[in-house]
Amino acid sequence: MILVLTGGVGGAKLANGLAHTFRPEELTIVVNTGDDFMHLGYFICPDLDSTLYKLAGINDLERGWGIRQETWNFMNTLKEVGGDDWFKLGDKDLATHIDRTKRLSEGQTLSEVTQALCRKHNVSHSIVPMTDHRVGTIVDTVEGDFFFQDYFVRLRCKPTFTGVHYKGIKTATPSPKFRKTLTYPDLRSIVICPSNPFVSIDPILNVPGVRDLITSTKVPVVAVSPIIAGEAIKGPAAKMMREIGLPSSPVGIVEHYGKLIDGIIIDERDTSLRDTITATGLKVKVCQTLMQSDNDEKTLAIKTIKFADTLSY
Ligand code: GDP
Ligand code: CA
């Protein structure tokens, strides 16, 4: 059994590679829910949806988010009647939010709803939320604190980042499948996908009990760097690192995750950093980590698990 921790679009590429390499019963994909929010009366889970659409093979490649061959009748009409259009919801995507919100209002847990959505999209691998409780990532900046979507979409990540905190996290617990996987006797490794460390991975790690459970598993924990040659492929990860005084490089990722990880995979373009990281006592693998095709995703997935296996103790 392999446990995968991921955010949305970036992490889902590696999760997809792993899903094409391992059977459903060999993989649990745990997704950040700190970005989740209510919008227009619907409960939106951006990272769960990005992961679901990716594994279902219906994700839009050009736009980089949402469903392919999307239409925008609802959004355009909403705009015409003076509705809120800062967060784009395509017609197809809307069906997910409506179905999810209905199921939640009937009393299903987010885990149950996500499982149902996976089944409808013929995804047989387990995509599970980090928690069934409501947790909201709040981004702290020099201009004040903002809910994640506000900072990300409305403010376009402009205010200088100083940190994050999570509303509702104190009373949250890991989702049942997440906890079960963390305590699984045959757990082989834990993979931290190349997702934003602050707003995608940290919310998962900060669910009470998760860090301790990860440490007590004694299985290899491997991270894939989301930073290549000083920059993020997409999104604010590198900017955030610089603004809080971390090097925007795999070295900063290593500093950030600290003792939680046993190894890191860095890109070929960062080969010069290998010795610096090795000197900290961490194991390093250098390979191509940019995923631009299904084949790139699968190749990196196989290399990640092979690397993790070499770290077994
Ligand atoms: P989001 O929640 O949709 O923003 O997605 P994530 O947090 O999962 O992913 C965003 C991160 O993925 C960014 O920091 C990117 O640098 C990183 N990323 C995206 N594509 C790739 C890739 O092909 N390789 C690597 N190594 N990182 C990637
Ligand atoms: Ca996200």
Look at residue 284 in the predicted model and tell me its pLDDT: 98
Residue 194 Cβ inside 6 Å of ligand 1? The answer reads: yes
Cα angle 216, 217, 220; round to 5? 120
Residue 54 Cβ inside 6 Å of ligand 1? The answer reads: no
> What is the rounded distance in angstroms from the CA atom of residue 220 to the CA atom of residue 229?
26
* 54, 183, 262, 1 alpha-carbon torsion, rounded to 10°: -50
Low-confidence ranges of the chain (pLDDT < 70): 313
**Contact yes or no for 34/136 (Cβ under 8 A):** yes
Question: 7 C-alpha vs ligand 2 centroid, how far in Å?
Answer: 5
The domains of the chain, with CATH numbers, are: 2-310 (3.40.50.10680)
**Contact yes or no for 207/248 (Cβ under 8 A):** no
Question: 174 C-alpha vs ligand 1 centroid, how far in Å?
Answer: 23
How far from 96 is each of 8, 36, 90, 111, CA to CA, in Å?
A: 16, 14, 10, 14
Look at residue 312 in the predicted model and tell me its pLDDT: 81
Residue nearest to atom 4 of ligand 1 (CA): 8
pLDDT tens, residue by residue, 92-149:
999 999 999 999 999 999 999 999 999 999 999 999 999 999 999 999 999 999 999 9
Among 223, 229, 248, residue whose Cα is nearest residue 237: 248
Which ligand minimizes its atom distance to the CA of 157?
1
Cβ atoms within 10 Å of 13's Cβ, excluding its own? 28
Which ligand minimizes its atom distance to the CA of 16?
1
Look at residue 62 in the predicted model and tell me its pLDDT: 92
Beta-strand relationship, 37-39 and 42-44? antiparallel
**Contact yes or no for 32/58 (Cβ under 8 A):** no
Token reading at 171: 């009373």
Residue 195 Cβ inside 6 Å of ligand 1? The answer reads: yes
pLDDT tens, residue by residue, 179-200:
999 999 999 999 999 999 999 9
Number of the ligand 1 atom closest to the C-alpha atom of 237: 14
Beta-strand relationship, 283-287 and 263-267? parallel
Is residue 264 helix, strand or coil? strand
Look at residue 313 in the predicted model and tell me its pLDDT: 65
Residue 252 Cβ inside 6 Å of ligand 1? The answer reads: no
Token reading at 216: 């007590």
**Contact yes or no for 46/32 (Cβ under 8 A):** no
Residue nearest to atom 26 of ligand 1 (CA): 226
The whole-model pTM stands at 0.97
How far from 58 is each of 75, 91, 100, 153, CA to CA, in Å?
A: 20, 14, 18, 23
